[in-house]
Chain A
Amino acid sequence: MAITPEDILHTARLANLALTAEETERFSRDLEGIMAYVDLLKQVDITDVLPATCLSQGRNVFREDRVVPSLAGDKIRRNAPDWYRGMFRVPRVIG
């Protein structure tokens, strides 16, 4: 399956990534290789195989509706790129 530069740019935009021309070209090649592998997998006969949606074979794994303590404030803050009055601060996304 041929991957066009437009496909790469669209995917990058969805992931909020900015790519250079050189990266765009390199990722086109890489993705094409990955897609070729998927094409290979498609040749396997799976008529009798149930679709798997989960890595574990279990079903109905639940938690009961009980509150457990959340993370302490400083731990959250340490993972934030920027912090202002208890909130994550990021570049303005609207207006």
Chain B
Amino acid sequence: MTGWDRNHADFEAVIGLEIHAQLLTESKMFCGCSTAYGAPPNTQTCPVCLGLPGALPVANRQAIEYALRFVLAVGGTVNRRNVFARKNYYYPDLPKGYQISQYDQPLGEGGTIIIIEDNTAKSIGLMRAHLEEDAGKSFHVDARAGGPATLVDLNRCGVPLLEIVSQPEIRSPYQAYLFVTKIRQLVRYLDICSGDMEKGALRCDANISVRRQRKKTLGTRTEIKNINSIRGVERALTREIDRQIDILGSGGQIEQTTLFWDDDAQDVRPMRGKEESADYRYFPDPDLPEVVIDDDWLRRAAKAIPELPNQRRDRLVHEFHIPPYDAGVLTAERPLAEYFEAVASLVDRPKSAANWVLTEVLGALREVSGNIEEFPVQPPQLAELLREIEVGNISGKIAKEVFRIMQSEGGSAREIIERRGLQQISDGDTIQLVIGQVLRAYPTECKAYRGGKKKLFGFFVGEVMARTNGKANPQKVNELLRKMLED
């Protein structure tokens, strides 16, 4: 765990997170411009998202549906009557001078996220989840890049965001890390956000204060913005907690400020240039009619929710008798869970399939930093290989070799085994023949074994395996070797 736990045991952190998740719609929240990432600047803009006079926003039905899916998945309450509100502030990346958001009637309220820390489940409450539009991107440049100036790209302006606000129930940077990981996993399972933090599809702001252990009142909090990676969440909070404790420890006071996480410098620094005090003057947006969500719409949204990671993990534990930790790894990402279940359904021993996916498949994926969908050995091929082990055609060790060949050269397990003569030798006569050779080659060792040096058994097994190129059936070898040595 992180350093502050040990060094600052007198203090406790109180953390609340705000996560902005870009919804996976094709078009923007209130206009038909594309949301595709990486287009040349300002090529995905129109009068609506540029805030030109007379333009009229119309809400994207799909974005509302995605947001509904999230609220239902976390067990939140859906507000049946929704109003969009204007949040007014002045900044060049917001051409209208206001952001369309939701205020006193957010789409969803309440709900919980379960995180697992040291094998213990902790539930973190959610305050709300609401829809809003993203702002553009600003680049603050100096003379070398056409400045000093701020350059603005409005392609991102108007992209639908789901803002997810947690209760201040997170107590450490590590828990914050777990929370963000869980949210990311959930929105990816729900297929409503790519979760790609590098492309800004998931962003995190944190509110944080510290207080003496067991004190009920909250300390003065600061807000950290611009946390753009999952690891950044933990680092930024650790840094800020240290800073706050240092100030309080030396008798100082925390100033309520907004800080900016600088990922390059790995430090927080005060934000400058934004509105001095939050005075957003929210009011209902008269351009947008209210959104009423009826039972039918709720039912449709609920139907689109797949089995969620925690449920899936529990089911795998019961259905296939695999340890909860392993099931957790297998269900961390939906495509991996699909892969495993496809393999498991085709073999007799799903538990061994789980081990194969966890060690061999994940190991191979890590080596090439690839993803499971493009992995050369797909479920039917892996299942075929595992069946070869099940029927005793090859040993587990040889199977790993075959697996490597399948990865690099393709082809089916059957074919590779036959072509390379890798079939397991289970025939007793053949194995006995090899054992006889070994015993004759090592008379001294034989004598020592019979004299009580039983540890030599492994040595003989190794010799037999080596002489059969690893193809002898290990169980048969053990059985026959013991018999021949004792005779």
Contacts and interface: CB of A to CB of B under 8 A. Distances in A.
Contacts of B91: 93
A29 interface: no
Interface in B39-55: 40-47, 50, 52
A91 B43 CA distance: 22
A62 B59 contact: yes
B151 A93 contact: no
A66 B147 CA distance: 37
Contacts of A55: 286-287
Most chain B CB within a 10 A radius of its CB, from A60, A82, A95: A60
A79 B89 CA distance: 21
A41 interface: no
Given A14-B88, A59-B291, A67-B26, A92 B148 contact: yes
Interface in A76-95: 76, 79, 82, 84-95
Most buried by B among A56, A67, A79, A95: A67
A65 B32 CA distance: 7
A87 B41 contact: yes
A16 to B, nearest CB: 5
A67 B44 CA distance: 10
A59 B34 contact: no
A88 B32 contact: no
B448 interface: no
Given A63-B32, A70-B34, A71-B45, A54 B284 contact: yes
Interface-central residue, A15, A53, A56, by most chain B CB under 10 Å = A53
Nearest to B141: A92
Interface in B262-301: 272-273, 275-276, 279, 281, 284-292
Interface string B141-169: 10000111111111000000000000000
Interface stretch (B60-68, B376-384, B395-403, B463-471): B60-68
A81 B67 CA distance: 36
B32 A67 contact: yes
B61 to A, nearest CB: 4
Contacts of A60: 289, 291-292
A79 B50 contact: yes
B135 to A, nearest CB: 13
Contacts, number: 144
B61 A14 contact: no
Interface residues of A, number: 38
Given A63-B61, A64-B62, A93-B92, A71 B150 contact: no
A86 B290 contact: no
Contact of A93 (B43, B138, B285, B287): B138
B140 A93 contact: yes
A16 B286 CA distance: 23
Interface in A1-53: 10, 13-16, 53
A86 B27 contact: no
Nearest to A88: B152
A14 B289 contact: no
A95 B271 CA distance: 10
Contacts of A95: 140, 272-273
B27 A87 contact: no
A89 B146 contact: yes
B151 A87 contact: yes
A62 B131 CA distance: 14
A87 B88 contact: no
A65 B26 contact: yes
A66 to B, nearest CB: 6
A51 B179 CA distance: 38
Contacts of A79: 50, 52
B292 A59 contact: yes
- Identify the interface centre among A68, A79, A93: most chain B CB within 10 Å of its CB: A93
B218 interface: no
Nearest to B85: A53
B152 A90 contact: yes
Given A14-B90, A68-B27, A92 B44 contact: no
Nearest to B90: A16
A54 B59 CA distance: 14
Contact of B58 (A15, A62, A70, A88): A62
A90 B289 contact: no
A70 B44 contact: yes
Nearest to A64: B61
Given A65-B63, A73-B43, 12 more contacts: A14-B275, A15-B97, A56-B289, A63-B60, A66-B26, A71-B47, A79-B50, A86-B42, A88-B42, A88-B151, A89-B146, A90-B92
Lowest 10 A-B CB distances belong to which pairs? A68-B32, A53-B284, A65-B62, A62-B61, A87-B151, A88-B152, A94-B273, A84-B146, A86-B41, A63-B58
8 contacts: A60-B291, A63-B32, A65-B61, A79-B50, A82-B149, A88-B92, A92-B147, A95-B140
Interface of A: 10, 13-16, 53-56, 58-68, 70-71, 73, 76, 79, 82, 84-95
